[in-house]
Structure 1
Amino acid sequence: MTNKTMVVLLKGYPRLSETFIAQELLGLERAGFRLKLVAMRRPTDKKRHPVHDEIQAPVSYLPEYLHEEPGRVLKALWKVCRMPGFGKALSAFLRDLPKDVSRNRFRRFGQAAVLAAEWPADASWLHVHFIHTPAAVARYTSLMSGTPWTVSAHAKDIWTSGDSDLRDKLNDARWAVTCTRTGFQKLASLSTRPNVHLSYHGLDLKRFPAFEGDRSRRDGSDPADPVRILSVGRAVPKKGYDTLLKALSLLPAELCWTFIHIGGGEELSRLKAIATDLKIAERITWKGALDQRDVLQHYRDSDLFTLACRITADGDRDGLPNVLVEASSQNLPIVATDISGISELFVDGENGLLVEPDQPQQLAQALERAMRDPALRIGLGKAAENRVRSDFDYHTSIADLKRLFSESWTSGAKS
């Protein structure tokens, strides 16, 4: 594939919360693909992961808001309106508009015009991450220019999109790949042809070498050496941190623990206020966003990892949070909820403890069980690590993508 160049369209780049995408980009480069990255938003994170610095692909940015670069947008529209596929793209846009009469819809068409007008001369494929708004830009771009496109779908983008919107994109894309069986089943049920594929992200296990240290025997009985509970995730509703805080407040008073949260997010202030109201704030440390090296050290220093993911009212949910795979690679035992792809990795009582979402009492009981029983934690952690190291190596997902790209790129036909 070294004679092929692919444009990869991203919602934002780089992002600390999307290490799985960065890892995939690096893997594709190492597999021989030449990439050019195009992002719809500029970065807002103040830090970068080491993997971002290893990616060689150049990065360019579309106008995040059309009014910020009117000259660039108008120049692009003038150019693309002469393209043979412009009429098809405009028709698709006009069909989509009644379903989403918003500035957002016009912005996606304008961004697509810029991407098509500024298309690199040596690129012959377009791949996009997320099947909601980024895929809209990719679809319009493909219709304008005739460039084939493919899509990686993940979680929120699947479950907050309407079925008709998903169906239109799946029918126009050469193929789609997604990272959980639940997501695969949803998309496959909507596509009119067998072009949806399942491929778990996995980890670059060289970045997460086996933890050779001994796991502690803390059992919550020593105030001077409390059980260390860790969670990594953005403070957003689907992560269920309000439920987790309530569960922590329900733990027996004599049980000694500390909780560390790593991640940013718009709900941090609200969660800190909840912790104060529940009278557990003094046991909690809010670390904010950290890079991958710091997160790895926290996995190794902690006794227990927990997430309380939920399905929100608008359907938003996680797939298989990458942090659960990362924590498991360090034999850190998991207490989590049994939604989406989480139950595709963990089996309750075998390699983790799973409870129903939005059930703080159940979560508190599972946390207490793990906290009081170091032997249980060690057994669960080892079993989860064995599963991750045997079945979640990212080289498998890169091999899947390389095969899909190579077959469809070579044939030039819909698969």
Structure 2
Amino acid sequence: MSDTPANGPALAVVVKGWPRLSETFIAQELAGLQDMGHDFAIWSLRHPTDTKTHPLHDKITAPVHYLPEYLRSETARVLAAYRAARRLPGFAEARRIWRADFARDRTRNRVRRFGQACVLATELPAGTRAIYSHFLHTPSTVARYAAVMLGIPWAFSAHAKDIWTSPDWELREKMAGDATGATFGATCTAFGADTLRDLATDPDRIDLIYHGLDLSRFPAPPERPKRAPGDPIHLVSVGRLVEKKGFDRLIAALSMLPDTLDWRWTHIGGGELKDQMRDMAAKGEITDRITWRGPLTQPEVIEAMRASDLFVLPSRIAINGDRDGLPNVLMEAASQKLPILSTAISAIPEFIESGTQGLLASDRPQDLADAIAWMAENPDDARAMADAALDRLRSDFGAEPGLRRLSERLTALTGA
């Protein structure tokens, strides 16, 4: 852990883990805020597990501090923090909130969050004026408890799983219009914003801020020659091997493709279902057509996209309600004029109108297989949709407007 200075940045940014390859949207945002002159420190609930980092992570110069990932692993630190936290002006109120939360969620995680909040509240430098958390579930719980202890404002950025898998009572209380609720909340999809505004005491506190894409960080799209007759079509997907990404449905779909279509599929990303997905491919007798590349840096992802013919992301709703928001990889594919096949889940239609900027199928394997075959057989239409996706990205999904709005919000939050 970094040494905590006596006086540090006015803003503390709480994240679940830092750095993470799968969360380029957070790195892009923080790099953008840094370029706009914001001074902040990063406080992470977990240590990194990825062995690689993106160039964006290396660009961010903010100090990084790690809270105790498990309370038992740093008992002395946690106990010292608890004793010190008891002297803070808002400790009694924070403990009351935690007890009410724990009565409805009697888990070790809830205990861990309060312990992490005690550490955060007592180790933040004296100059900290506000806390801003990424994700509305665990990081915002820690941020809220700590902010109440200290009597300072806090805010959040919500994304996908944190909205769809959190109980309504918890979302409502974090967005309550009192001193314990968030001063503002940002979320990256209109679909998510509508959901949160319906639950918030003051809907005006919820901003729709698309992450967008900073195209200055990406190479110009390549010229894509037409595939020669007999050449295989190269498919690529980027995403963790988890239920909501729908790769089980895609593997089933690949097994259904007609024998007349020669194809190759490259998957990029980690995830707990890796072994299960590979077993499915083996049973479908398609292993020799698949390349599993694991987690890659953003430049490596872009290189793979430039060498491919079709981007496929078969997102779906998981059993527990989890789902994608608007995955940045769709915009990254669009930046390289790579035709896109996805599904009409959550906020994906906010970027892609089916038949205009890409093709949106259902997540049924046969429908996915039919859509892949259609894209392969109609390359001119696929190319036109890729052109339209890049035009939409440039006109409506640049990073700068969202960063400007977030910068205004954070400046007001810290009073800096």
Instruction: Report the TM-score range of the alignment, normalised by the length of the smaller protein.
Output: over 0.9
User: What residue is the counterpart of 2:104 in the other structure?
Assistant: 99
For the residues of structure 2 that align with 1:350 and 1:26, how far apart are their CA atoms? 32
1:386 pairs with one of 387, 391, 410: 391
For residue 395 of structure 1, the aligned residue among 392, 400, 405 is 400
- SS of corresponding position for 2:234: strand
Match of 1:317 in 2: 323
Q: Does 1:52 align with 2:57?
A: yes
Shift of 1:4: 6.2
Q: Output the TM-score relative to the length of structure 2.
A: 0.95
Task: Give the corresponding residue for 2:46.
Answer: 41
Shift of 1:218: 2.1
Superposition map of 1:13-412 within 5 A: 13-171=18-176, 172-193=181-202, 194-211=204-221, 213-218=222-227, 221-222=229-230, 225-357=231-363, 359-410=364-415
Report the residue type matching 2:210 in the other structure.
Y
Cα offset for 1:151?
A: 0.1
Residues paired across the two proteins, number: 404
Write the letter of the residue equivalent to 1:273. Answer: D
Match of 2:16 among 11, 15, 36: 11
Q: Residue by residue, what CA displacement relative to the aligned partner does 1:374-402 show, whole Å, maximum 9, x if unpaired?
A: 11121011000110111111111110101
What is the identity, as a one-letter code, of the residue corresponding to 2:227?
A: R
Q: Is the 8 A contact 1:216 1:374 kept in 2?
A: no
Q: Give ranges in structure 2 of 5+ residues lacking alignment.
A: 1-7
Q: Tell me the SS of whatever aligns to 1:177.
A: strand
Q: Distance in 2 between matches of 1:173 and 1:218?
A: 52
Task: Say if 1:79 and 1:4 are closer, same or farther in 2 by CA, change over 3 A.
Answer: closer
For 2:86 and 2:186, the matched residues in 1 are separated by 31
- Amino acid in the other structure paired with 1:125: A
Do 2:353 and 2:359's aligned partners in 1 also have CA atoms closer than 8 Å?
Answer: yes
Question: Which deviations, in whole Å up to 9, do the C-alpha atoms of 1:259-317 show, x marking residues without a partner?
Answer: 00000111111101100111111100000111011111111110000011011111100
Q: Is the 8 A contact 2:305 2:338 kept in 1?
A: yes
In structure 2, the residue corresponding to 1:354 is in which secondary structure?
strand
Q: Is the 8 A contact 2:9 2:41 kept in 1?
A: no
Change (3 A) 1:124 1:408: closer
Report Cα offsets for 1:94-149 as digits up to 9, x if no partner: 10012110110000000000000101122211000000011110110011111210
Tell me the distance in 1 between the aligned counterparts of 2:342 and 2:17: 28
Question: Which runs of at least 4 in structure 1 moved beyond 6 Å after TM superposition?
Answer: none
Tell me which amino acid in the other structure corresponds to 2:242. Answer: V
Instruction: Measure, in 2, the Cα distance between the counterparts of 1:281 and 1:376.
Output: 29
Preserved contact between residue 353 and residue 366 of structure 1 (Cα < 8 Å):
yes
SS in 1 for 2:14: strand
Structure 1 letter corresponding to 2:261: L
Q: For residue 5 of structure 2, what is the aligned residue in structure 1? A: none
Cα distance in 2 for residues equivalent to 1:51 and 1:121: 29
Contact preservation (8 Å) 2:130, 2:413? no
Given that residues 339 and 358 in structure 2 are in contact (C-alpha distance below 8 angstroms), is that contact kept between their aligned partners in structure 1? yes
Q: Distance in 2 between matches of 1:159 and 1:104?
A: 18
Name the aligned partner's letter for residue 194 of structure 2: Q
TM-score by length of 1: 0.95
Return the letter of the residue paired with 1:263.
G
Report the residue type matching 2:307 in the other structure: D
2: distance between equivalents of 1:295 and 1:4? 33
Query: How far is the alpha carbon of 1:208 from its aligned partner?
Result: 1.5
Root mean square deviation, CA, Å? 1.2
Shift of 1:69: 0.5
How far the C-alpha of 1:321 sits from its partner, in A, is 0.6
- State the shift of 1:173 in Å: 0.5
Cα drift, residue 403 of structure 1: 1.5
* One-letter code aligned to 1:173: A
Kindly state the Cα deviation for residue 407 of structure 1 after the two structures are TM-superposed.
Answer: 3.1
- The residue identity in structure 2 corresponding to 1:39 is S
